[in-house]
Structure 1
């Protein structure tokens, strides 16, 4: 039986319903029987999938899209204050609910796992969702990306476990009360919301402090920010801390990661016994994500051997080193990486998986604020590629910052010895790449914006 729908969520209206986080909540509510409606800026496969679940989805934002009987309006931090549907909600005295509060209400009464960290949240949440489903536990889940197999980012399950990606970018992960919290890493990002690492640590401490009494924190024993956070929360008497990683002090120790082409074989030492399993995506960082998922499942009482085997059924998330296709002997792969650490990890993973291939990157910087703070490091990361194409900054929710352009990245990349081509017109990228690529090359479209749309266009151009 589905958990009861909170009365405020019986007829919700989502502004920006097509977004990764918003659409997941809307899907779960629709599957639980709520009368879901909303609007989005453009038509999409996500909008159509919501309609198939019975939701009403309007394209474009207009006051008349908000029904007078709506029980609440759900927004994310990306929705601007001058949105006409928000103004209409004020006129009708319809309560406005943040996305994180809506998600928290869906987790009430269930055994929840909240996955946090600057990088790797979507992959780790997805690994857990796939493994728990494979084991017949029928979990609910809300993820920031579409799983390859089910092709969706969210599902209402009949089981008692709810797995959720916990977003630190706007501090919204502080709203959750998980039984198990995972912290993969802690780094400075989201510069529009955090001014320093101290603010980041304070935010993560608050998140960890919300773990229910007797609950578990699963946290990296290797990453410096996670180590610092562990030292800050060790004294929480109601919290069990389980560390994982390659450190000899880790409770769940990564003994060995063996690359197997586009997969990895991982051996861990857990409770004095070695356990080996397969991770069906390349790269040491993805292997660590899998071990974090394993440790979290064990914390819920799931046998480690069963869980490890089930994690091997995970085949990937869209945009996380997703193979888009091959044409003229060139493979095109899509990467969501947009922070220097993520960029480096994905480029090193591809180097390890295909050491003989030439690696070409089409990179689209994401956010002016991130480029301002980390543009030099982004350029240095691109030096790991054989050649790169750098596009203009994808603004997302931000207004331009004077003087901050992709040139900051390009100059840093060239200073690091990288071969970089600047392209201002995205439509010309397929021709540019076709002129660069040779049989046997790998092309990575990389970034959190609409650079992902270029993959099919590049393949079509190579085919011709």
Structure 2
């Protein structure tokens, strides 16, 4: 649908998904412009690559553009989107991504949790294994200096977003489902059955000569298997065609033996923490090995994997630890807090910003019970993400429900300053503070990290013993 002479404009170019497309288009020689509400490291990097960046959304930004790219996050009343539609030159982000996936040897990674980490691991293994893939990642990755890499082969590895049903546009040769769980139900009329049907459509679109990698123990995967037309392989920990055995967890990593059916392929070491990352690594390894990557290259790539930004990203170590994580679903919160607990420390303090009123509504009870591994829970206001407030849905109510089932301190704090002041007043040496959420809570994490740096420089924090 695009030709090299097209001038392409991306609304919300600073987002992970949009910036990945922008980076590839720039490297392919397209004229790229974009807009966002505020400058960021991502927009500055794209500007350095040659993109024309505008701060703020205005119709004039798209006047001389041939194609305008938008995502589901962009509201209908956005001036640039309306101008693009009036000119008849808009594409949804997933339509452009479909061009990359469907016209090449596409490898699509979907699932409720772990997509970004698994996609990154797979792309890194393939790169180290000589397959030189193009990759589009839903997060910032140190190994690729951003959210994407342009390869020279026909392989394209990308996250397939289930959140808005757009993954039904993809026709991959290979695909992977990390897990299936209720989320993003606002795009499925509140129906988990409709979400399952969406996964069914996704697997039905995999090319018959292709391959689907699926979790052995997932409780819902069997519901969609009748729709699969290609070969299937399972993965897991302790079970599956590809599986991790002899697992040893340590505070900031792990090691395990990777089996293919009855064959012990060898030991794998990870330098990212948590059992969930073993699970992600086994999934990525299964696909890579099926593509012909040798075990030596695979093991080296996984040992070198440094993680993606906002995936248990350690921002500071002393005098207290600060960790930033994208966790915004009850299952992800549990996994992140359990990982923090395994690190060891004085106290684990969860700082959580709920994301969207609809998600908070659907999972209010599950959120309330997801903080068991935290010693202290601090809840920020809900990050609306363009949604309107819903009656009876607030962080104050979530705090009340959490306190009813949690044995430690639970507080509702309104905004960054209130949270920062609480930490300054109450921190102890060895505490682990985790900022979690899909909104702007990472700003709190970054400021806490700056406080640690100031303290280490001798500018003084008074600890509470």
TM-score (norm 2): 0.93
Equivalent in 45, 51, 73 of residue 49 of structure 1: 45
Contact 2:10 2:68 in 1 (8 A): yes
Distance in 1 (CA, whole Å) between partners of 2:399 and 2:284 is 37
What CA deviation, in whole Å up to 9, does each residue of 1:56-91 have, x standing for no partner?
1111011111133x2211110111111111222234
Equivalent in 166, 182, 185 of residue 176 of structure 2: 182
Aligned partner of 1:380 in structure 2 is 369
Distance in 2 (CA, whole Å) between partners of 1:90 and 1:313 is 45
Instruction: List alignment gaps of at least 5 residues for structure 1.
Output: none
| Pairwise CA distance, 1:119 | 0.5
Distance in 1 (CA, whole Å) between partners of 2:303 and 2:154 is 22
Distance in 2 (CA, whole Å) between partners of 1:168 and 1:260 is 33
Aligned partner of 2:7 in structure 1 is 11
Equivalent runs, 1:2-151 vs 2, <5 Å = 6-7=2-3, 10-68=6-64, 70-91=65-86, 93-151=87-145
Aligned partner of 2:160 in structure 1 is 166
| Pairwise CA distance, 1:437 | 1.8
Distance in 2 (CA, whole Å) between partners of 1:47 and 1:156 is 18
Equivalent runs, 1:275-294 vs 2, <5 Å = 275-294=266-285
What CA deviation, in whole Å up to 9, does each residue of 1:17-68 have, x standing for no partner?
1111111111101110111112111111111111112111111011111133
Counterpart check, 1:210 vs 2:199:
no
Counterpart check, 1:301 vs 2:296:
no
Distance in 1 (CA, whole Å) between partners of 2:118 and 2:386 is 26
Counterpart check, 1:367 vs 2:356:
yes
Equivalent runs, 1:394-405 vs 2, <5 Å = 394-405=383-394
Distance in 2 (CA, whole Å) between partners of 1:175 and 1:106 is 11
SS in 2 for 1:395: coil
What CA deviation, in whole Å up to 9, does each residue of 1:323-364 have, x standing for no partner?
00133x21101111010000001111122232x542111111
Instruction: List alignment gaps of at least 5 residues for structure 2.
Output: 461-465
RMSD, matched Cα: 1.7
What CA deviation, in whole Å up to 9, does each residue of 1:392-416 have, x standing for no partner?
0001131211221012321221111
| Pairwise CA distance, 1:108 | 4.2
| Pairwise CA distance, 1:266 | 2.1
Contact 2:346 2:428 in 1 (8 A): no
Distance in 1 (CA, whole Å) between partners of 2:414 and 2:394 is 11
Contact 2:197 2:224 in 1 (8 A): no
Counterpart check, 1:197 vs 2:201:
no
| Pairwise CA distance, 1:292 | 0.3
TM-score (norm 1): 0.93
Contact 2:212 2:233 in 1 (8 A): yes
Structure 1's 365 and 9: CA in aligned 2 closer, same or farther, altered over 3 A?
farther
SS in 2 for 1:267: strand
Contact 2:355 2:382 in 1 (8 A): yes
Equivalent in 425, 428, 450 of residue 435 of structure 1: 425
Number of aligned residue pairs: give it.
451
Distance in 2 (CA, whole Å) between partners of 1:13 and 1:256 is 50
Where does structure 1 differ by over 6 angstroms across 4 or more consecutive aligned residues? none
